[in-house]
Amino acid sequence: MPIVWLVLIVLAIAAVGYVLGRTRALQSATGDVRALHSLPSYYGANVALKTIVPAFGLMILWLLVQPLYVNSQVSEMISGSAIEDGASLNLVMAEVRRTAYGLDNAVAAGQIPEELARNARADVIDMTQRLKDAGQVVTSDITQPVLRAAQTYRIMNATGYSIMAVAVILTALAGAAVSWFQTRAEYRARNVVEQGVRILLLAAASIAILTTVGIVLSLVFNTWEFFKLYPATDFFFGTTWAPSFSGRGGSSELGIIPLLWGTFYISLVALLVAVPIGLFAAIYLSEYASPRVRAVAKPLLEILAGIPTIVYGLFALLTVGPLLLGLFGDDGLGWMKAGTAVMTAGLVMGIMLIPFVSSLSDDIINAVPQAMRDGSYGLGATQSETIRQVVLPAALPGIVGAILLAASRAIGETMIVVLGAGAAARLSLNPFEAMTTVTAKIVSQLTGDADFASPEALVAFALGMTLFTLTLGLNIFALYIVRKYREQYE
Amino acid sequence: MNDMTRVERTVNSKDIKINAKKVQVYYGDTHAIKDVSVEIEDKTVTAFIGPSGCGKSTFLRCLNRMNDTIDICRVEGDILLDGEDIYDKRVDPVQLRAKVGMVFQKPNPFPKSIYDNVAYGPRIHGLAKNKAELDEIVEKSLRRGAIWDEVKDRLDAPGTGLSGGQQQRLCIARAVATEPEVLLMDEPCSALDPIATAQVEELIDELRSRYSVVIVTHSMQQAARVSQKTAFFHLGNLVEFGETGQIFTNPVDPRTESYITGRIG
């Protein structure tokens, strides 16, 4: 039975339970809603909740545990002799699973009869041919032990799912029955539902947090693997980035410094563009613009934030790069060799960050109490004096926070760098030279065809970890500053 | 028009600091101030009283053009400061506000040090030639604000860290530092406790020796305590204006009597 049907059945039981619970509550109060502890719908929801939650809980648990159990049982069946030279148990198990799914699909399509699929004495060569005819992916000729294992795997899974379906439906019915008998006028159904809502919200929050933890852990373990293959001091203090492309090279030099320098330099240029423009735009919008101008200009500015970064990348590659090359290239000042350069990527990234800085700063400037401005105007200050000496100092912590958040965006940006700054890792002070960043190198290290266990691929995780630590530090620092000074003027 | 003849009778014209004639104020379509004419004397405390929404704060804000910062606000009529129309095109509202200082309902010290709060006005108007002169202005202003003794040891502390009453006196000191000729106070004690209120009231009485003070207040006792002249506003009209003692003991208009005896407002 497909899982979807099972879910629908449980939901149907819950729906019936809702109606029955509601009715029973009304009956127990002899139709007078005021005699009930809670509104009738709460009694219904109580029954529905106690139907759904245990049943689905059991189902999820079963779906997690069953593959582990079946895998371990089937692995035991495969003797050491069945494992070919150079292959591992994992590869054989992958073969077993593939065959099992192939059989499933072939049976479902009617190309192999169910009895044959289950027949332990079926001919291996015939079976391989039938599977190939059925269009199922079979990498090589199936061996006898693999076919046996695949058949057992199928049967165990099928039995498991059948038992699960029965168990889940029984749990749902039991939950519905128990809660239906609980339903009396004085039963506190409202409090139970309240608890349920609370747990639901808690679960949502925990999933978000657990995912973060999972991401960090996967980074940490892979980074650890990398440092077993490549010395950490060479990684952190090496000034050359030259991965070998021969696959299992070993002659790679994987120093992070040129990449960090590129990241820092491009982000710096981006912030030099974004901070003044964004801040001045925010000041204009919040202090000078009439409500009508503001109503049009603010959304327009924020459209910039909605443009995908790859489009900015194209803009850098096709427009800004050639433009800068015309000005600073060999035809002009002669400083620039190609369109891809720190300046190109930095300028475009700066444009990308403008709405980020301006929108946050605008909110912060608006949060400065009008009383501050009145006080300053009342002393005979002009508008720009008021902004410079009263509004901006009051808003400064928030603005610094906004800039730091923009900086961590700049550090994490990839596509603009890939298209605008080139791919050469280089330590140079010339902003018209091509450089690259940590993020761009993570992409190029993982999209190649290097062996995943090689330091050339694993270095991506070390780079990711470094980047994560840097941006996390920046974000925490930004939040700390914003919080520390937030209430100073209230 | 009865009030007008009475006002002319009691006010000595040679001491008049601000002369408002037939002032109308509109907020969009709302007619907030209707035909108000008042003469405010020099070195006098004038109190504006009246129920909430009667226009007394709006009128006060007209006197130093603070209403200019509100887009939909429109002012008609003449307001003369020392005989010059403050709504004349040649008058710079920024210069005007330096001459007509303002203290607000809620204490609003800037998020700066106590010293910088007081030095703010003198700095932007270039009143001090050097640091020593600025120090002198700050000390003099804080003394006039009756807060010098409390803060002289911590001038570098943030002004926002003071208590409510101290903050308000700091704001008064800040307003005094620019050497204004008129000081407008918009319910300066409404956010303060009785002790702080008493201190501020005492201060207002001292300020009278140098400035013309206009105070908006909800408290009739306060108006009676600190002012020499009182104007009663009701629904955008100036109902009655005269000597404080006379307004509170022997009001001419029945509406004034109803208000001060607590029957309306």
Give residue-wise pLDDT tens across range A444-467.
Answer: 888 866 667 788 888 889 999 999
A334 and A458, same domain (yes or no): yes
At residue A428, the pLDDT reads 84
* A103 is a domain residue: yes
A277: pLDDT strictly greater than 90? yes
Quick: pLDDT tens for B212-240: 999 999 888 899 999 999 999 988 899 99
Domain span including residue A89: 3-187
A127 and A254, same domain (yes or no): no
Query: Distance between CA A462 and CA A482 in Å, rounded?
Result: 30
Higher-confidence residue of A228 and A137: namely A228
Do A135 and A110 meet the contact criterion of CB atoms below 8 Å apart? no
Give the pLDDT band (50/70/90) at residue A137.
low
Give the pLDDT band (50/70/90) at residue B95.
confident
A161 and A280, same domain (yes or no): no
A452 and A333, same domain (yes or no): yes
Using a CB-CB cut-off of 8 Å, the residues of chain B touching A489 are: 111, 160
Q: What's the mean per-residue pLDDT of chain A?
A: 85
Contact A379 B98 (CB under 8 A): yes
* E runs forming strands in A355-463: none
A250: pLDDT strictly greater than 70? no
Give the pLDDT band (50/70/90) at residue A304.
confident
A329 and A457, same domain (yes or no): yes
Q: Which of A406, A469, A401 has the alpha carbon at shortest distance from A268?
A: A406
A370 and A458, same domain (yes or no): yes
* A96 is a domain residue: yes
Query: Distance between CA A489 and CA A56 in Å, rounded?
Result: 51
Average of pLDDT values for A263-274?
A: 93
Average of pLDDT values for B154-168?
A: 89
Q: Which of B108, B169, B185 has the alpha carbon at shortest distance from A490?
A: B108
B181 to chain A, closest Cα gap in Å:
12
Q: Which of A:71-110 have CB within 8 Å of B?
A: none
Contact A374 B95 (CB under 8 A): no
Q: Identify which of B104, B124, B174 has the shortest CB distance to residue A385.
A: B124
**What is the DSSP secondary-structure string of A59-121?**
HHHHHHHHHHHHHHHHHHHS-GGGSPTT--HHHHHHHHHHHHHHHHHHHHTTSS-HHHHH-TT
At residue B7, the pLDDT reads 43
B109 to chain A, closest Cα gap in Å:
7
A84 and A8, same domain (yes or no): yes
* A212 is a domain residue: no
Q: Which of A93, A17, A100 has the alpha carbon at shortest distance from A55?
A: A17
CB neighbours of residue A424 within 10 Å: 15
A14 and A144, same domain (yes or no): yes
Average of pLDDT values for B143-148?
A: 86
Quick: pLDDT tens for A72-109: 888 877 766 556 555 667 777 777 888 888 888 888 77
* A265 is a domain residue: yes
Quick: pLDDT tens for B47-79: 999 888 888 888 999 998 888 878 888 888 889
Chain B contact probe: residue of A292, A379, A488, A490 with most B CBs at under 10 A: A379
A288 and A360, same domain (yes or no): yes
Residue A361 CB partners (closer than 8 Å, separation 6+)? A278, A279, A282, A283, A395, A398, A399, A402
Give the pLDDT band (50/70/90) at residue A46.
very high
Q: Identify which of B71, B97, B106 has the shortest CB distance to residue A380.
A: B97
> Does the domain at residues B2-260 carry the CATH identifier 3.40.50.300?
yes
At residue A14, the pLDDT reads 94
Residue B95, classed as helix, strand or coil, is: helix
Using a CB-CB cut-off of 8 Å, the residues of chain A touching B160 are: 488-489
* A452 is a domain residue: yes
Pairs of CB atoms within 8 A across A/B: 77
At residue B141, the pLDDT reads 92
A288: pLDDT strictly greater than 60? yes
Q: Which of B181, B138, B182, B145 has the alpha carbon at shortest distance from B165?
A: B145
Least CA distance to B61: which residue of chain A?
A378
Average of pLDDT values for B178-206?
A: 87
* A218 is a domain residue: no
Is A377 in CB contact (< 8 Å) with chain B?
Answer: yes
Q: Which of B47, B78, B57 has the alpha carbon at shortest distance from B256?
A: B47
A128 and A30, same domain (yes or no): yes
Q: Which of A187, A215, A232 is the last residue of a domain?
A: A187
Give the pLDDT band (50/70/90) at residue B2.
very low
Chain A contact probe: residue of B96, B97, B103 with most A CBs at under 10 A: B97
Q: Identify which of A377, A380, A489 has the shortest CB distance to residue B69.
A: A377
* A219 is a domain residue: no
Least CA distance to A383: which residue of chain B?
B94
Average of pLDDT values for A141-152?
A: 78
Average of pLDDT values for A32-52?
A: 89
pTM: 0.74
A261 and A381, same domain (yes or no): yes
A129 and A43, same domain (yes or no): yes
Do A241 and A255 meet the contact criterion of CB atoms below 8 Å apart? yes
Least CA distance to A385: which residue of chain B?
B124
Number of domain units in chain A: 2
Q: Write down the domain spans for chain B.
A: 2-260
A480 to chain B, closest Cα gap in Å:
19
* A209 is a domain residue: no
Using a CB-CB cut-off of 8 Å, the residues of chain A touching B99 are: 380
Give the pLDDT band (50/70/90) at residue B13.
very low
